[in-house]
Each structure stands twice: as C-alpha cells, then as structure tokens.
A and B are shown apart, each in its own frame.
Chain A
Amino acid sequence: MSSRGAETVEQQSLGLKALFAGLDPNTDSAVLDLGPASGTNLTFFSQLGCRVHVADLYRSLWDSAADRPTDAATFAEACSSLLPDSDDHRFDYILTWDLFNYLTQDQITAVVEPLTALCKPGAVLFSMISIRHQIASRPGSFQILEPGRLSTQQAPSNARPSPEYKEPQLLRLLPGFLVRRCFLMRHGVQEYLFEYKPVSAGNEQPAAGLPGPRPRSLRMP
C-alpha cells in the first residue's frame, strides 16, 4: 500500500480480541489474510502457532492498472487465481479487514465464492464494515499489536462514499455464514465475526435478519 499521505492510528478491536480469545496455540490453526503482508502480524500469528497465507487481494487486483479487472467475470476469475488452491488449503480464520467497503455487491459475491471453498466448517471470517458516509480512498493496512489493538495505516479519510453495508445485505452476500459476534466501534466501524456453517453440515441456517447464534452486540463506550 502506498504510504503517501497515509496516517497511522492505533485503534481498539473488540472483534479481533474475540476472534483470538478462543484460539488454542497448541492446535494447528490456519489464517488467510486478504490484506497486505505484515511482519508484525506474522510475528503475532506465529506466537499463536498459526500458519498464515497472505493474499494481498486489493493491491493485487487494483494496483496494477494493466491487470485491473473490468467486468464481473474477469474479477471473479482474478479473485480465484489470487486465492490458494482449495484442494490443498483450508482455513480456520479469514481476515478481510476493511476490504468489503471497497467492493460492490457483485464483487463481494465473486470474492466470497472461492473463500467459502477455503473454509473449514466453523471457520470465522473477520470483517470491518464502515458505518460512516465517507471512507478512505483505499483499504488500510492493519497491524495487530495485541489481540484487541490494531495499528492502522490508511489514506486520509473522506475520499470516497461508503457503501454502508448493513447486516442483512452482508448475510445475503455471504451464503453459509452466520453472524457470531458483532461490535460497533466508536471510530465508525462495525466489526463482524461471521462463522461458516454450511447447511450440508446439518446446521439449520437462520434466514437473514432473524435472530441467529449471535450472543450480543457491544457498543464501544
């Protein structure tokens, strides 16, 4: 990610804290990071005994003008080629960070389809959805300082309109996923932990908008 004009801030992340709270370092967990590679994050995951795959999706799709996909089919194909082979990889955690804020609904669908094939049953997808009207011009770069704290490097805010995705929209775009936890943060981000519960696994999937397995939604004081 270009650092020109970028500002670095530290933020709390209750979503990440909850995500890693139940992680047992003695188990072999696999993490798929759709953001740019970070040595800090690698150190964090290695201390938890996690294997990491970095996809750096946004930079791969948009930073090279020659490769920028121009239609939905090309975009879907590009996403599939950037993600690891589902025959060899399955993940327990997927970090989308703020990527969905920069994708149209069709593009989210195109990304989620190959992601679903990479999920182990019960896999958790972490997403930071903006609730503000304006967002930065491009996704940020996030470094995990500790389970509940992030260092965020992002272009100056208010550079483009935010899609302001709501939970029912997201659940339609993420078939097979349920909201496990949801946290409203005071810096204008709603952090979601989506859990992958395929219907074929015998789990009844509630319709979007109906009460699901979500324990509670916390608002940051």
Chain B
Amino acid sequence: MWKKQDSDNASPPLASSPSAPAPLPSRKDSQAQPSRGAATIGPSIVIKGDVSGQEDLIIEGTVEGEVSLRKHNVTVGRTGKAKADIYGKNIRVEGEVRGNLFGEEAVVIHETGSVAGNITAPRVSLENGSTFKGSIDMGASVDSGQPGAGSKHKVGHPGKASGNKPGAQL
C-alpha cells in the first residue's frame, strides 16, 4: 500500500532465517484496503493537532499531536516528521518520529527512519541503518492500550506529544 516514489526502496521481508517470525505484510497485501487511495500530508504541510480518518495516510510533512488511523496503514515518508503518537494497522517509518507507535499488525522502521519512543505491535522490524531509542513490546494489545505483563503503560520517552489544537479529519 505504501505509495513509494522510488521502486528500489522496497522493504525486505522480516524473515531472513529459518527461525525468524513470519514476514511482515507486503505492499500487495496491504493494498487490500478500501478502494480510495491513501491521503498524503505534503512536505510543506504542518499540522498541529490530532489526525484521524478512515483511509491510509502518508505523512511527508510535519505532524504534532496524535495520528489515529487504527484500521489503516500509516507511512511517515522520508521527509515526514511526526512529533506524535501514531496508531495504525501497519506503520512504516522512513522519516522521523518522536512519539509512540501502536501498530495493530506491524511496525517497520526503514533504514532511513529514526524513532524515539515506544513501539507496541505484534511484529516489529528494524532495518539495518535505522535509528531507534525506546521500548519494544510485541506482546501487548494495541486496542486495550495495556502493556505486556510486568510493565505499566508508559507514554513517552521522549514523551507524548501534546494535542491541544483542533484535530484534522481526513
């Protein structure tokens, strides 16, 4: 689904060894979504507030607040900067995120991606070259917002982005 500009930036599958977990969904799998194409926040766009909607989203601009598209795919493109918590079905980061990621299916940090925050998803992939600081929890339920056994749900590090501005509805 992720509408990449460069065809050679395909994300390799997670499974590279016999004992590795199941591969993450391919673009083809993720394209089995509502017929409407992904919405895009362009490179010059800055949104301060909460973003929610019923379609896939590509962020090439700047978002400060919260991005909530739980049943859809969210991509932070190479020029994208998100100072926000992001909720999505599959989340792919090629740009910069300062906030927590909650993927219902998977979270992928591309080699160009940089994330400072916690990741909660059943499957997580960190590609070589990516930058990540934070906790990874593959046993928590995103819907319940509860952490895995033995730990409290902690928003932040570097901290949850505030969202006091009006939300942007897609």
Are A51 and B133 within 8 A (Cβ)?
no
With a cutoff of 8 Å between Cβ atoms, the chain B residues found around residue A47 in the complex are 19, 21
* Chain A interface (Cβ < 8 Å from any Cβ of B): 28, 30, 36-39, 42-43, 46-47, 51-56, 59-60, 82, 84-85, 87-89
Q: Which of B40-48, B93-101, B146-154, B160-168 lies at the interface?
A: B146-154
Q: A51-B137, A85-B154 are in contact. List 16 more A-B contacts (CB 8 A).
A: A28-B150, A39-B127, A39-B128, A39-B130, A42-B124, A42-B125, A42-B126, A42-B136, A47-B19, A51-B139, A51-B148, A51-B150, A54-B135, A56-B132, A56-B133, A89-B154
Q: Contacts A39-B126, A39-B128, A43-B14 known; A54 to B134 CB distance under 8 Å?
A: yes
A46→B132 contact, CB < 8 A? no
CB distance from A31 to the nearest CB of B (A): 10
Interface residues of B in 102-146 (CB under 8 A from A): 109, 124-128, 130-139
Asked if B20 CB lies within 8 Å of chain A CBs, one says yes
A60 engages B133 (CB within 8 Å): yes
User: Please, which residues of chain A bring their CB within 8 A of the CB of B21?
Assistant: 43, 46-47
5 A-B contacts (beta carbon < 8 Å): A28-B150, A30-B150, A37-B132, A39-B130, A85-B157
Using a CB–CB distance below 8 Å, which chain B residues touch chain A? 14, 17, 19-21, 109, 124-128, 130-139, 148-152, 154, 157
Given the complex, which residues of B lie within 8 Å of A36, measured CB to CB?
Answer: 131
Say yes or no: A37 contacts B130, CB within 8 Å. Answer: yes
Which residues on A sit within 8 Å (CB–CB) of B136? 42, 51-54
Q: Which residues of A contact B128 (CB under 8 A)?
A: 38-39
Give B109 Cβ to nearest chain A Cβ, in Å: 8
Provide the residues of chain B in CB contact with A89, threshold 8 Å.
135, 151, 154
Question: Which residues on the B side are within 8 Å of A43 (C-beta)?
Answer: 14, 17, 20-21
A43 to B125, CA, bound (A): 8
Which of A38, A59, A84: most chain B CB closer than 10 A?
A84
Contacts of B148 in A (CB 8 A): 28, 51
- Please, how many angstroms separate the alpha-carbon atoms of A55 and B109 in the complex? 16
Instruction: Name B151's contact: one of A39, A59, A60, A88 (CB within 8 Å).
Output: A88
- In the bound assembly, the distance between CA atoms of A54 and B154 in angstroms comes to 15
CA distance A60 to B131 in the complex (A): 10
* Shortest beta-carbon distance from A6 to chain B in Å: 12
A54 to B130, CA, bound (A): 13
Known A-B contacts A52-B135, A53-B134, A54-B132; A39 and B125 likewise in contact (beta carbons under 8 Å): yes
